[in-house]
Amino acid sequence: MPKQLFAVLVTAVVIMAACGPSSKTQIVQGKQPQLRLPDPPKSEVLDLLEKNGAGDMSKSSLAAFRRWFGTRTALAEQVVKMCEPIEQHATVSWGDSAEATACTAAHETSIAARRAKAWTFTPPVADKRAW
């Protein structure tokens, strides 16, 4: 075996060991290891919503959160209070998170609930006097 061919084979083995799959069975089967993104850190807001029956919120839309908060206005008010300090120190990418979507929907729901409460018409009650 010529020295150049041997050097190429040794280099290929070293590169495959350093950059290739981590186990020998993956090399034999030709499979690459699956890369997983790290899980985002849990937030107090999402934990609270999960405990109150929201379920998996990772792929929920703003409309779904609005609909869910529609009958839970007290919970929406509580979430708004929790979101205020978070929003003040949020990064740009926070706006795309499930937590930001939940905070936005809770804020919209609480405003709508306050407006509905403020503009509720109560008809006058007759005093039953005969004029």
Q: What is the DSSP string of 59-113?
A: T--HHHHHHHHTT-HHHHHHHHHHHHHHHHT--GGGGGSHHHHHHHHHHHHHHHH
Question: What would the mean pLDDT of 10-19 be, rounded to a whole number?
Answer: 65
128: tokens are: 């039953």
Residue ranges per structural domain of the chain: 1-30, 44-118
- pLDDT for the residue numbered 84: 92
Q: How many CA atoms lie within 13 A of 93 on its CB side?
A: 1
Percent of the chain scoring above 90 in pLDDT: 20
Question: What would the mean pLDDT of 109-130 be, rounded to a whole number?
Answer: 77
Provide CB contacts within 8 A for 61, sequence distance 6+: 101
Of 122, 30, 105, the closest CA to residue 68 belongs to 105
| pLDDT of residue 55 exceeding 90 | no
